[in-house]
A and B are shown apart, each in its own frame.
Chain A
Amino acid sequence: DAGITQSPRHKVTETGTPVTLRCHQTENHRYMYWYRQDPGHGLRLIHYSYGVKDTDKGEVSDGYSVSRSKTEDFLLTLESATSSQTSVYFCAISESGGLNEPQHFGDGTRLSIL
């Protein structure tokens, strides 16, 4: 499997606190993505990156920010977590950004906001 590591794997925090999730890849892929998965909604794209310092919004970007200072790391930050952001978060990578280029996913971070 592709070398993708998400950290932490589980986190419980309180409403209003900042939270940062990390995705680390060893494949040197250009594109990186953050998704959230909720019951009844499938996976929804939050933000993606097409290179160092190059990012763009996805379908559900409100309340989230991202940063990519190195090819291998893509950070997702919840500046002030809310209960609606309780979800499972997946990071994915791909060599190019097209749908005909398969994405490889990490094992997810389960985030609970109380």
Chain B
Amino acid sequence: LAKTTQPISMDSYEGQEVNITCSHNNIATNDYITWYQQFPSQGPRFIIQGYKTKVTNEVASLFIPADRKSSTLSLPRVSLSDTAVYYCLVGDGAAGNKLTFGGGTRVLVKP
């Protein structure tokens, strides 16, 4: 799997937009970009996935530039409950892939 690099931590305030950028310089042609969210004492939860350009769902947006060497997860108007660790993963659809989460980005939303 392509190696990813993301900031260790970020602080924000309620109501602000949080943008987390993930670098994946060695992304392969068939690779997708997937983001998971993990709250304390819970398993990771799928947030969003994309291949190119922009993807938006009810939780977040994912921006992927044309070269696909990075991606940005955007969380609009965060609340205290968005405090969590966010993981960026890159890989292809090969069966039995070995999902590697890395350290993730710890986001702290303050009142």
Contacts and interface: CB of A to CB of B under 8 A. Distances in A.
A92 interface: yes
Interface residues of A, number: 28
Contacts of A56: 96
A26 B7 CA distance: 36
Contacts of B49: 100, 102
A103 B41 contact: no
Interface string B76-111: 000000000001011111111111111110000000
24 contacts: A43-B100, A43-B101, A45-B98, A56-B96, A58-B98, A59-B98, A90-B44, A96-B93, A96-B95, A98-B93, A98-B94, A98-B97, A99-B31, A99-B32, A99-B34, A99-B90, A99-B91, A99-B93, A100-B32, A103-B44, A105-B45, A107-B41, A108-B42, A108-B43
Interface of B: 1, 31-32, 34, 41-46, 49, 87, 89-104
Contact of B99 (A45, A50, A91): A45
A70 B100 CA distance: 26
A84 to B, nearest CB: 20
Given A103-B46, A108-B43, A98 B103 contact: no
Q: Is the interface of B mostly helix, strand, loop or mixed?
A: loop
Interface of A: 33, 35, 40, 42-45, 48, 50, 56, 58-59, 90-92, 96-108
A45 to B, nearest CB: 5
